[in-house]
Amino acid sequence: MPSHDSTEGRPQDKTRLCPTCRMEISVLATKCRFCGEEVGRPREEQRTLTIEDLGGETIEHYAPSNSVMEALEAFRSEESFRKSRAAVEAKKKPSIFGRHRISEEKEDTSEIPETKLPPLDAYSRSLAASVAPPPVKSYSPYKRKLRDGGLPDWYRSAAIFIFSAIVIAVIAFAGIKSAPKIRAMISSQNENQFMPPNPAISLLESGEDLVEVLDVAVKHQRKYDNPESRATLEDIKNKVKRHIEELLAQNPFDQNNLSKAWEKASKAYNYCPSEDLLELKNKVSAEVRLYGAMLLNTDVESKPPVAEFSLVGPDTKEIHVTVKEGDFFCENRFQLTLVKRDEVCLIDTLYNRKLRCNKATGITRF
């Protein structure tokens, strides 16, 4: 039990527990009154002095904690950002390019009435500035470009496109102008290189078919383009043309020669496509069409006698013509000289050769 002093009004001593019997004894006792063990005097307690003990006066100030200030400033920043964003969205105007233009009016940064918060005093603001992070500001790259005098993205894209088109046009124009010079330079370089002998010359001397020799000359000229190969090709091409003309003009006429001329003219044009060979091919084709005429009927009783022919027109359509004896037909190419019962006699006015034509074999030599 705690000890009590007999004097009334005297304050009660503090007690402590005996380390041996664990009974309450006075803090000033040196010997336990229950078990008789020595307990020693207690250590002197360290005394803490307050402002009141020193005679001062305590003044209380309200200081919000850091967490409260941070939460408050974060809430104020969110409200400010929400309000500015709503104002920007309301001021947007649609443009012809699908974007929105933002008006240049200055944003309202006054106190937000929706928060219902009182303004902070100077002391609270100083505390908030020391512990709170800077408020979040709204950021609009498009509006910043307009404010800083920049251009929208589609302006920049259009400028890049126009600039690229101009560069491409300049490069193309320069390439067209410089192409002949480049070809001449390459040709001169090829001429300075070692050229193997043209195999077409040896084939020509050995008596090979002229059209096949022309094919070899064309391949050699494409591989080694120089004045010598071009001259050889031109010479062989002229020989081929003369050979085909000889087949067409051979007298007496032979249908086999006409077939050979058509075959050689077609191959020559396929090997070496050129205007002169195309013209020769068309000429041979016209000869084949003219000599494809057939005799249909004859009338020896009429005065003069007449004969009816079936001709192949330029559009490969069949044409029937009736010719009197002594008249010309097929654009004055043929003259009907004699009409018999089963055949007629003709003259080819271009090559001055005599022909005959019957119902079975068509035009043949006389």
What is the residue-averaged pLDDT of the chain?
79
Please name which of 26, 6, 10 lies closest in space to residue 18, comparing C-alpha atoms.
Answer: 26
What tokens were used for 361?
Answer: 């074999």
pLDDT band at 19 (very low <50, low <70, confident <90, very high): confident
Contact 272, 285 (CB under 8 A): no
In angstroms, rounded to a whole number, what is the distance separating the alpha carbons of residues 263 and 212?
12
What tokens were used for 338?
Answer: 């004699």
Q: What is the pLDDT of residues 51-80, one digit of tens each?
A: 666 665 666 555 555 666 777 777 887 888
Whether residue 5 is predicted with pLDDT greater than 50 in this model: the reply is no
In angstroms, rounded to a whole number, what is the distance separating the alpha carbons of residues 79 and 91?
19
| Least confident range of 7-11, 104-108, 162-166, 204-208 | 104-108
Domains and CATH numbers, the chain: 66-147 (no CATH), 199-288 (no CATH), 292-365 (2.30.30)
Query: What mean pLDDT is predicted for residues 295-310?
Result: 93
Whether residue 6 is predicted with pLDDT greater than 50 in this model: the reply is no
| Least confident range of 33-37, 74-78, 146-150, 217-221 | 146-150
Q: What is the pLDDT of residue 70?
A: 74
Q: What is the pLDDT of residues 111-140, one digit of tens each?
A: 444 445 566 677 667 666 665 555 555 545
The reported pTM is 0.49
Beta bridge pairs of residue 19: none
